[in-house]
Amino acid sequence: MNARIAVILVLLVLVTQGCITTRDVVESPKNPMNITLGQAVGAINAELASVRTVNLASAERLSPVGLRGGEVEAVLSEKLVALPWAISSVTISSDGIIATAVPATFRDIVGRNVNYQDAVRDALEKKAPRVSEVFMMEEGFAGISQSAPVFSPGGIYMGYTDVTYRPETLIGRAVEPVIAATAYDIWVVQKDGRVIYDTTQEEIGKNLFSDPAYQSPELQAFFSRVVSEPEGRGVYRFWDRNWDRVITKEAVWATAGIDGAEWRVVLTSPGDEASPAGAGLLPNASFQNLSNLDSFVRDAASFAREAGKDEALREFNDQKGRFSKGEWYIFAYDMNGTVLALPYQQGLVGENRINVRDSNGVEYIRAMVTLASRGGGHTYYVYPNPSAGFSGQLKLSSVVPVDDEWFVGSGVYLPHVDAGFSQKERDQLVQKVKKARDFAQQQGKEAALAAFNDLSGPWADGASYIFAYSLNGTTLALPNQPGLMGTNRLGFLDHYGVAAVEWECDVAARGGGFVYVVYPNPGTGNEALKLCYVVPVDTEWFVGSGIYSTSA
């Protein structure tokens, strides 16, 4: 799927010369596509079931204490530690009032009447575990509420407790390991046509039936089949996973979901038309040319100012143009995160990618936009390397604004740096940081910072120490570098010129997330890539920690 390109989806149900039929796609349950699809559906259901188990356990603990108070906050906080990728948890009374909300940054929603929301009314009416459809949460994001009822010891219904999360997070955790070593892609859609997960992140949140690019009769017919039939198969034309050519894709789908959720899981295969890995694309660039990279990007920005936006974008999108040479090419985005130029992935031009994350959860387009709005700079992210079979490698990009509306950039791969952090490692990192946040909120800032800076304490455990900064960049906790206490580090640049502390402040101010930095590992004494997770304690300061790569 792609919202910017009118791709004609072909439903081939007749046997004709030179055509693919649905009979050719999937017939046997032993077909590899069916096997992988079954694994994906099972993994999604298992993730949903694990949330239900945690929710029910917390509901049982709430039964004797009610829906409000310090004990309730502790129960909900422990639930979020058990589900570190979730965003928030609340209790809602039987009349639809938010009684308690954690983490503390969500306390301002306590007391709100949310009985107008379909998900709330459904949970209150059913008095049973429920998985809502995606809707705009009171917390201000589009997410899912997965809930469990709370009954008093005497059996009186008091309300429910929930966990809120982004659907693409839960589904991605389930399906990405299933398809990681395959050529398959997956997209997941609600019955109302809303895409709640897609291997192509740009498509998440779009509606198959209302998006202007999907209004051809062929597309509407296929999408109607997907949402109305619990399982099926078909063929369609779309961009390959490298976004450089349109190919015929085979599709098979089935249904996942528990407790009211009914999601169509669509597995696609590129058939025999996939592009050979790296064909016609660019080779690696080396770190020794980093200064030349910066000059290359500045030259592109100057050209854009002189030639004008339209002419510059034509040049940047031309694979044979003056800015697609040797090791580098120029990409361009507007300040909202919409692609303006991406010469080797033309299928993405016109797509808004502001919320796209790399394989470790880093929102790299948003980081570029922020950098460009401040005059430019460097950032890291994991991206498919065309010269390495499109495997994900760490990339360092330089961005420069053209004007207040858009910016240009280019990047180099750093293949010698291992950026492969596992889901388990990331979960453990998030758990540690959220425990530190909860500790700080419970103990107060002064006591918490003293504990974080104590090298003999539990929070300064070797390379996994807790650090803390104010949101203006002042160092509050850095146990292995006490000489930096009280200094402002917004101007700190790491080995590759990335303003990591400034990046962390930006991410924390938005509610938390992942960033990269090349930083000394106190366990080895050497610099290494570090994946950090940061989260705000309140509106003034944040805490974080990181995990180091085995290579620099």
For the chain, state the CA radius of gyration.
25
Q: For all residues of the chain together, what is the average pLDDT?
A: 88
**CB neighbours (10 Å) of residue 300?**
27
Q: Is the pLDDT of residue 215 over 60?
A: yes
Q: CA-to-CA distance for 389 and 382, rounded, in angstroms?
A: 14
Q: Please state, in angstroms and rounded to a whole number, the distance separating the CA atoms of residues 318 and 329.
A: 10
Taking only the tens place, the pLDDT of each residue in 80-121 is: 999 999 999 999 999 999 999 999 888 899 999 999 999 999
Phi/psi region, residue 72 (left: phi>0; alpha: psi -120 to 50; beta: rest), is alpha
pLDDT at 14 (0 to 100): 27
pTM greater than 0.85 (yes/no): no
12-26, 52-66, 70-84, 126-140: which has the minimum mean pLDDT?
12-26
Alpha helices in 138-269 (DSSP H): 167-179, 217-228
In order of 30, 235, 252, the CA distances from 10 in angstroms are: 25, 6, 14
Distance, CA of 71 to CA of 525 (rounded, Å): 43
Q: What pLDDT score was predicted for residue 77?
A: 94
How many CB atoms are located within 10 Å of the residue 39 CB?
A: 16
The whole-angstrom separation of Cα 369 and Cα 299 is 19
Q: Work out the percent of the chain whose per-residue pLDDT is above 70.
A: 89
Given this model, what pLDDT does residue 276 score? 39
Domains identified in the chain and CATH numbers = 287-413 (3.30.450.20), 423-548 (3.30.450.20)
Tens digits of residue pLDDT in 168-211: 999 999 999 999 888 899 999 999 999 999 998 888 999 999 98
Tell me which of 31-40, 41-50, 237-246 is least confident. 237-246
Flag the least confident range among 5-14, 21-30, 135-144, 355-364. 5-14
Two structure tokens written together for 175: 């399906």
pLDDT-derived band at 138, boundaries 50, 70, 90: low
**What does the alpha-carbon distance between residue 430 and residue 513 come to, in Å, rounded to a whole number?**
9
Whether residue 254 has pLDDT greater than 80: yes
Tokens linked to 227 = 């949402």
The pLDDT of residue 428: 95
- Residue 24: the pLDDT is 36
Residue 276, preceding bond cis, omega within 30 degrees?
Answer: no
Amino acid at 515: V
The pLDDT tens digits for 143-165 are 999 999 999 999 999 999 999 99
Q: Report the length, in residues, of the chain.
A: 552
Who contacts 215 (Cβ-Cβ below 8 Å, separation ≥6)?
none
| Two tokens, residue 219 | 């597309």
Whole-number pLDDT of residue 5: 35
Provide the token pair at 151: 């009954």
Question: Per residue in 368-427, pLDDT tens?
Answer: 999 999 999 999 999 988 677 778 899 999 999 999 999 999 998 888 899 999 999 999
Q: Please write the tens of the pLDDT for every residue from 298-321.
A: 999 999 999 999 999 999 999 999
pLDDT in tens, 415-452: 889 999 999 999 999 999 999 999 999 999 999 999 99
H/E segment holding residue 334: strand 331-334
Q: Each residue of 478-534: pLDDT tens digit?
A: 999 999 999 999 999 998 999 999 999 999 999 999 999 999 999 888 899 999 999
Per-residue H/E/C for 25-73 = HCCCCCCHHHHHHHHHHHHHHHHHHHHHHHHHHHHHHHCCCCCCCHHHH
